[in-house]
């Protein structure tokens, strides 16, 4: 048995909440940045050009709160994708490839 159909046009649609989380530029950058394995905070900060420490911290907290990223248990540990986060890589990889392919047209 499946649940009711979701309608992203409705303000209270759970799928819309999920889209709000993952459609954020920095969320995409961080998840893709963790695609090849765990990274320390400083490595993510260096890899994600243009992000501030405050924004990276907020983004990591949001992604961890949603169950997409696992925060390190100790200071200096590594952030990693959860199984749910890994499941997001396919769609995000397709989206980033499309964005790279069409960046000139959209500029």
Q: 84 vs 62, 65, 74, CA distance in Å?
A: 14, 12, 22
The architecture in CATH of the region 14-106 reads Orthogonal Bundle (1.10)
pLDDT of amino acid 53: 96
Partners of residue 78 on adjacent β-strands: 40
Nearby residues of 61 by Cβ (< 8 Å), 6 or more positions away: 71
Partners of residue 40 on adjacent β-strands: 78
3-state SS assignment for residue 79: strand
3-state SS assignment for residue 78: strand
pLDDT of amino acid 1: 43
pLDDT of amino acid 21: 86
pLDDT digits (tens, 9 = 90+) for 26-81: 999 999 999 999 999 999 999 998 999 999 999 999 999 999 999 998 888 999 99
Q: What is the pTM assigned to this prediction? A: 0.85
């Amino acid at each position: 048995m499946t649940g009711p159909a979701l309608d992203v046009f409705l303000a209270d649609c759970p799928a819309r909440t999920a889209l709000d989380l993952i459609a954020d530029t920095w969320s995409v950058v961080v998840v893709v940045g963790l695609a090849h394995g765990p990274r320390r905070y400083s490595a993510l900060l260096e890899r994600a050009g243009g992000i501030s420490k405050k924004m990276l911290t907020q983004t990591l907290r949001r992604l961890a709160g949603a169950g997409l990223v696992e925060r390190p248990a100790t200071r200096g540990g590594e952030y990693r994708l959860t199984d749910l986060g890994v499941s997001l890589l396919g769609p995000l990889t397709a989206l980033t490839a499309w964005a790279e392919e069409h960046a000139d047209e959209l500029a």
